[in-house]
Amino acid sequence: MAESGQSHPDPQLRLRACTRRHGPTMIIEVDGEIDHATADLLREHVITAALAISPPHVVLDFDQVTFCDSSGLGALIAIWKAVRAHHGDLVVARPPGVCRRILERTGLDRHITIHPTLEGALRHA
């Protein structure tokens, strides 16, 4: 597994996103809270990383996400739209219960692939 090691921590915003390549796939490990204060940062970071490869194949690893609200959902929708506009794929790996429930209740799980493991997400991306 190749790693680029890009990391964008911001302790004030309670979010960390670390980006690494795995072959043609960009893995973005997200750690912290996705809310009104952090959603824009996540959206910008992921879209910038995703569009660095063509077509973008992105796995968002949410294993360390501790909270996600409607702002986080809006960021996921924007990321999904940007990736799809460039003929790519977005997969969410290891989402905690709160994220999975938001995706299921809104029906986004029919558009954004969810995998319980990182390995499964990488096979799909």
Determine the structural domain holding residue 70 and report its residue range. 6-124
pLDDT tens readout for residues 33-64:
999 999 999 999 999 999 999 999 999 999 99
Query: Edge-to-edge, what's the strand order for the sheet holding 15-22?
Result: 6-7, 15-22, 25-34, 57-68, 89-93, 113-115
How distant, in Å, are the alpha carbons of 27, 45, 79, 119 from that of 85? 19, 17, 10, 25
At position 109, the amino acid (one-letter code) is D
Q: How many CB atoms lie within 10 A of CB 51?
A: 17
Q: What percent of the chain has pLDDT over 70?
A: 90
CATH number, domain at 112?
3.30.750.24
Pair 59, 91: CB distance under 8 Å: yes
Q: Quick check: is 30 in a domain?
A: yes
How many structural domains are present in the chain? 1
